[in-house]
Amino acid sequence: MHESISLKIPSDLKFMRIVEDLIGDTCETLPLTKEDTQALIDSTGELIENAVLHAYKDSSGYIQVGLYPFKTGLRIDVHDWGLPMSFKKHISVPIKEDASEGFNHIYDLMDLFEYQNLGKDGKKFIIIKYASHPLHAKKANQEHLSFPPLQKSEKRRESEGSDEIPVTIREYREGDEEGIARLIFKNYGYSYIKDLFYYPRKVFESHGKKFYSIVAQREERIIGHFALVLVPESTIAEIGVAVVDPEFQGRGIMNQMLKLVLQKARKINLDAVFGEAIMFHIYSQKANLRHGFSETALMLGKVPVDTTIVNNELAMKHRRGSVLVGYYFLNTKNKNLFFPAVYKKKIEQTYRNAAVPFEKAKKKKEKTTDHIFLSYTFDPPTNVAKIRVDRYGKDFKQKFIILLNQLKAKHCDMIYADISLEGIPQIDKVINIMNKRGFFYSGVMFYYHKKKDYLRLQLKNSDKIGSRNYVCYSDFCKKLSKYIRKDEQRVKKA
């Protein structure tokens, strides 16, 4: 039994010599011929060159080479954390069986060639070479994963500095998934919250089920992406995963994509869409307002600490960031609402700002029911939780405290609470219980659960929540931010 060997090198071809020596020395301890050894060196060299020229073509990083010797051969893993690659590149039949370079050459040299997409942990290529013993003279009759040759690097745009460039804005088509994953990586590295979009295959499989995508295409290159993420058990969707290649930012591409996103929302009969604008910068806030969105909630701490945005200082404060929720209504109807006294004026102001008709619901004298509706969801990748309250009943306080303690035990950074504005006549009692446990105002979420409206409160459960690392563009946002800070202080004193 041999021990495994791991070597981590910078993304520079000059370090290949070290890797060659390591492979050569390892192969001397195995029943591998000089031809076998050279095949392993050549194949590993192709994979490292691919990582340097393509995965890290506009940046620097590291490549980890792992050697795993066994009795009759050697397995080598080449792991990088660079640009994502389409899953289709490893399931296609080689275009040129006799290719002298690239992935086809590796397929020809190795007995096994596999690819693994590791999401936020990058990607890994695996090669295996068996010793050239008579038993292995003929390749086993088994299927091997294979790769077509890499495409040439795309040309940079010809008209540097031009404000108007020919761009096609269209709905997603099969084959766009790799370009989408690369865009996310180029803007956020591996720090983006919705990690599904780092997996080209998951993008392909989930489109039309969990979300709909709009892309911006220039020549053969995907340079922009905007998604309509469906909310389960509702008739609304979140707009997001909005990115433009840094090379083409500031050209109005985001606004063009958003127009088509809203058209798609009408086409699939949604009542509304909402966006969570990351508040490290004001661009997305300005874009939403320009298209008729109404701001309804400000969620502190929604953005993880490690989220980065290219050339943005506020994203480097090592504090969780905030998002500003804005709604675009496609259909509205009159709402009968139970207003909590402490937040009545602010809620009414939000409805008027959104131009959504409402009236105060009449409270009937009813006995407190035994049945309550209290649930929660927890999202480990972002480390936030949401509590949902649809009905108040006996022992509500006790059950709420138990649930809250369970979430605190999970060390959630932020805990949000959604309280039905349409189904809880005793809403003042619910708010009082939550205020005493530290929950303060966030805003209103329309149509959020089964077409009902909810008051959202929030609770900080970490000292990493940024209270000042965001900016507001609109007057409404500035007033909402001020109101939230005051309510947080009020709750602390209660």
User: In this structure, is residue 150 part of a structural domain?
Assistant: no
What is the residue range of 456's domain? 353-469
Mean pLDDT of 70-94: 75
Predicted pLDDT at 163? 53
pLDDT, greater one: 318 or 383 = 383
One domain, residues 237 and 190: yes
Helix (H, G, I), strand (E, B) or coil at 235: coil
User: In this structure, is residue 64 part of a structural domain?
Assistant: yes
Predicted TM-score (pTM) of this structure: 0.68
Residue 143 has pLDDT above 80, yes or no: no
User: What does the mean pLDDT of the chain come to?
Assistant: 84
**C-beta of residue 79 within 8 angstroms of C-beta of residue 64:** yes
One domain, residues 264 and 213: yes
193 band by pLDDT with thresholds 50, 70 and 90: confident
One domain, residues 265 and 321: yes
Predicted pLDDT at 317? 56
The count of structural domains within the chain is 3
Pick from 239, 183, 249: nearest CA to 212: 239
Residue 206 has pLDDT above 80, yes or no: yes
38: domain CATH number?
Answer: 3.30.565.10
253: domain CATH number?
Answer: 3.40.630.30
Vertex 166 angle, CA 162 and 168, to 5°:
140
Mean pLDDT of 398-404: 93
The per-residue pLDDT for range 253-305, each reduced to its tens digit, is: 988 999 999 999 999 999 999 999 888 878 788 888 988 999 999 999 998 87
User: In this structure, is residue 82 part of a structural domain?
Assistant: yes
Separation CA 218–CA 9 (nearest Å):
35
User: In this structure, is residue 15 part of a structural domain?
Assistant: yes
Q: Residue 244 burial by CB count (10 A; 0-12/13-18/19+): exposed, middle or buried?
A: buried
72 band by pLDDT with thresholds 50, 70 and 90: confident
